[in-house]
A and B are shown apart, each in its own frame.
Chain A
Amino acid sequence: MLAMNYRGPLRVRIDEKPMPRILHPEDAIVRVTRSCICGSDLHLYNGSVPDTRPGMTFGHEFTGVVVEIGGDVQKLKVGDHVLVPFNIACGRCVFCQQELYGNCHESNPQATAVGGIFGYSHTGGGHEGGQAEYVRVPYADVGPTVIPDDMDPDDAVLLTDVVPTGYQAAEMGGIQKGDTVVVFGAGPVGIMAARCAWLFGAGRVIVIDELDYRLDFVRRYAPCEAYNFRSMGDPVLFLKKATDWLGADVCIDAVGAEAAGNAMQTLLGRKLFMQGGSATALHWAINSVRKGGVLSIVGVYGPIGTLVPIGNVVNKGITIRANQASVKRLLPRLIEHVRSGVLRPRELITHRIPLEHVSDAYRIFSAKLNHCIKPVLIPPAK
């Protein structure tokens, strides 16, 4: 079968790989119908996540048709068209029982700090991902969800990560009616977080990024205020001024390790890999949230120490909430929102690229070429 193959920093290609096999009685094999590239994949692509081994197939946002099931699979049937949450979750460990499906303790041998994630390095469990024709899906009765007949498959594929992550980013903000919410990052996750902030009753939503085409998009889509940090000097000062000099009630970091805007953070975090990524957006978020405010982090960082102004967190009395999205927990509510038309995720998809052109797809998304917001890889028709 055809599968994306990571070769080293910035180098990926399409290759012929052996078909995945059932290795556990609760496994299913799924023929992929759509598979996205995510901002999280860029951390792997840039070589900033430790234990990212050449030969791995990335891809944690995919839909597909079940072609084979293991002996213990009961709910899922061959032929079902499913959307597969990016978290691999057993459904019964202490964390899954608390609905922390992104923190499962039975799916990632290499690290206790994160649950298993499809195609997300060995630090994420060493599982092959969905940027391929076929993929092995463990715990098939727990995560995979049959796509409702009336749902567009492009909406379904974004329910595997982008929609729940953006929604949980807003949810973790503990937004109260009337709150001012600032979202750092106008990628798919930040755009969705800005959209969802309204669902929790925000009074004002501001998005910060450096790419005008994404700011234009989110201004219309969320809808919200959107500003380019390249044209504001000091973003923290700009945001203070915009909020009566008090700061925002809630700040959301939807940027993560690849943040631009500060030379020292870029050097230490993205060039020398001396910290778990560049924490520029996180730094701005801490300093522009109000005293007693809430900081919600969904941007992904590496496992080693990262420079942030932690003293300000203490002195300002900031509450920090963060996690990998718990996709399964949120799916019932979010499927409702998509079916009712409150959320229209498929409008984020700007590029549909054949799986065979995966190297170009990564370049386009990574370098933000051709006004790319969200690319979807389409495997050859079967």
Chain B
Amino acid sequence: MNQTIKDPEAIPGWGIDANPSNDPAWPIKIRDGARVHSALWNRPPQQAATVEVLVSNEYPHLPAVTGVSSPPSGLSGMLRRWAFRYSESSYGHWLPLMLADRINAFEGIILDVIKGRPPHFMAELGWPAEWRYNRLNLVLRNLLRLVLLAAVIWGIVALCRRHA
């Protein structure tokens, strides 16, 4: 899309109330007439691709440097690829990513088990630290969870019996 008004300065009154000191962005953003104000800058060399990198569709090109952590994989990876068809302004982008994060955590557990080193949940959750500094809370919290779980199981069993 091209700019349709080619010469704004020709518009009557253009700039007569311009006030450079009315700049709420300063000094966080340093404006300086001499500096680049367009999408053209001397781009750094491009990092060679070593892993699959998903790219926001709001970029015209891949940024020169990218992270290489945890490339998309499995079912969560498929969801992530799908999400990147939508812009950052869309729930179609963020909600599938949130879902993919949860699925990915589950995939991680399965992979850990396959590799023969199932996760130590209590250690990963930092319960040793809670046992040391927050024991009563830790115990009560988990007792409550157990009670709730037991109630749910009891409810399901009772329902099944009634229908049997």
For residues 45 through 67 of chain A, which have their beta carbon under 8 Å from a beta carbon of chain B? 47, 50-57
Interchain CA distance A50-B56 in the complex, whole Å: 14
In this assembly, does A131 line the interface, its C-beta being within 8 Å of a C-beta of chain B?
A: no
Decide: B108 and A8 in contact? CB cutoff 8 A.
Answer: yes
In this assembly, does B126 line the interface, its C-beta being within 8 Å of a C-beta of chain A?
A: yes
Interchain CA distance A364-B128 in the complex, whole Å: 10
In this assembly, does B133 line the interface, its C-beta being within 8 Å of a C-beta of chain A?
A: yes
Chain A facing B: main interface SS? loop
Decide: A51 and B97 in contact? CB cutoff 8 A.
Answer: yes
Known: A11-B125, A99-B30, A360-B128. A56 touches B65 (CB 8 A): no
In this assembly, does B14 line the interface, its C-beta being within 8 Å of a C-beta of chain A?
A: no
Known: A92-B44, A110-B55. A323 touches B28 (CB 8 A): yes
Interface segment among B4-12, B31-39, B145-153, B154-162: the answer is: B31-39
User: Across the interface, which residues of A come within 8 angstroms of B43, CB to CB?
Assistant: 92, 106
Closest to B76 in A: A53
Number of chain B residues whose Cβ lies closer than 8 Å to a Cβ of chain A = 67
Decide: B123 and A359 in contact? CB cutoff 8 A.
Answer: yes
For residues 47 through 86 of chain B, which have their beta carbon under 8 Å from a beta carbon of chain A? 47-48, 50, 53-56, 58-59, 62-70, 72, 76, 80, 84
Number of chain A residues whose Cβ lies closer than 8 Å to a Cβ of chain B = 70
Decide: B64 and A54 in contact? CB cutoff 8 A.
Answer: no
Known: A126-B53, A367-B134. A50 touches B44 (CB 8 A): no
Known: A98-B29, A112-B56. A126 touches B70 (CB 8 A): yes
In the complex, what's the smallest C-beta–C-beta distance from B102 to chain A, in angstroms?
Answer: 8
User: Across the interface, which residues of A come within 8 angstroms of B24, CB to CB?
Assistant: 319, 321
Interchain CA distance A108-B55 in the complex, whole Å: 9
Decide: B133 and A171 in contact? CB cutoff 8 A.
Answer: no
User: Across the interface, which residues of B come within 8 angstroms of A211, CB to CB?
Assistant: none
Known: A122-B54, A303-B88, A323-B28. A369 touches B125 (CB 8 A): no
Interchain CA distance A171-B24 in the complex, whole Å: 12
Listed residue (A25, A94, A370) with the most chain B CB atoms within 10 angstroms of its CB: A94
Decide: A54 and B104 in contact? CB cutoff 8 A.
Answer: yes
In the complex, what's the smallest C-beta–C-beta distance from A16 to chain B, in angstroms?
Answer: 11
In this assembly, does A334 line the interface, its C-beta being within 8 Å of a C-beta of chain B?
A: no
Chain B facing A: main interface SS? loop
Interchain CA distance A51-B62 in the complex, whole Å: 18
User: Across the interface, which residues of B come within 8 angstroms of A24, CB to CB?
Assistant: 44-45, 47, 64-65
Interchain CA distance A50-B98 in the complex, whole Å: 5
User: Across the interface, which residues of A come within 8 angstroms of B41, CB to CB?
Assistant: 92-94, 97
In the complex, what's the smallest C-beta–C-beta distance from B57 to chain A, in angstroms?
Answer: 9
Interchain CA distance A126-B49 in the complex, whole Å: 14
Decide: B129 and A108 in contact? CB cutoff 8 A.
Answer: no
Closest to B34 in A: A97
Interchain CA distance A24-B44 in the complex, whole Å: 10
Number of A-B contacts (CB under 8 A): 197
Decide: B55 and A363 in contact? CB cutoff 8 A.
Answer: no
Decide: A13 and B28 in contact? CB cutoff 8 A.
Answer: no
Closest to A11 in B: B124
Interchain CA distance A127-B68 in the complex, whole Å: 6
Listed residue (A8, A10, A100, A369) with the most chain B CB atoms within 10 angstroms of its CB: A8
Q: Which of B38, B62, B72, B108 contacts A7 (CB 8 A)?
A: B108
Interchain CA distance A57-B69 in the complex, whole Å: 8
In this assembly, does B27 line the interface, its C-beta being within 8 Å of a C-beta of chain A?
A: yes
Interchain CA distance A111-B56 in the complex, whole Å: 5
For residues 70 through 124 of chain B, which have their beta carbon under 8 Å from a beta carbon of chain A? 70, 72, 76, 80, 84, 88, 91, 94, 97-98, 100-102, 104-109, 119-121, 123-124
In this assembly, does B42 line the interface, its C-beta being within 8 Å of a C-beta of chain A?
A: yes
In the complex, what's the smallest C-beta–C-beta distance from A360 to chain B, in angstroms?
Answer: 4
Decide: A55 and B35 in contact? CB cutoff 8 A.
Answer: no
Decide: B98 and A90 in contact? CB cutoff 8 A.
Answer: no
Decide: A50 and B97 in contact? CB cutoff 8 A.
Answer: yes
For residues 160 through 198 of chain A, which have their beta carbon under 8 Å from a beta carbon of chain B? 168, 171-172
Decide: B69 and A273 in contact? CB cutoff 8 A.
Answer: no
Interchain CA distance A304-B93 in the complex, whole Å: 10
Listed residue (A52, A92, A110, A116) with the most chain B CB atoms within 10 angstroms of its CB: A110
Q: Can you identify 8 A-B contacts, CB atoms within 8 angstroms?
A: A8-B101, A26-B45, A53-B72, A99-B30, A106-B43, A109-B56, A110-B84, A359-B129
Binding site for A on B (CB under 8 A): 24, 27-32, 35-39, 41-45, 47-48, 50, 53-56, 58-59, 62-70, 72, 76, 80, 84, 88, 91, 94, 97-98, 100-102, 104-109, 119-121, 123-130, 132-134
Assuming A304-B94, A323-B28, what are 20 further A-B pairs, CB within 8 angstroms? A10-B126, A12-B124, A54-B70, A55-B69, A90-B44, A107-B63, A109-B66, A111-B56, A112-B56, A112-B59, A116-B65, A122-B67, A303-B94, A329-B30, A359-B123, A359-B126, A360-B129, A362-B126, A363-B125, A364-B126
Q: Which 3 A-B residue pairs are closest in the complex by CB-CB distance?
A: A363-B126, A8-B105, A126-B67
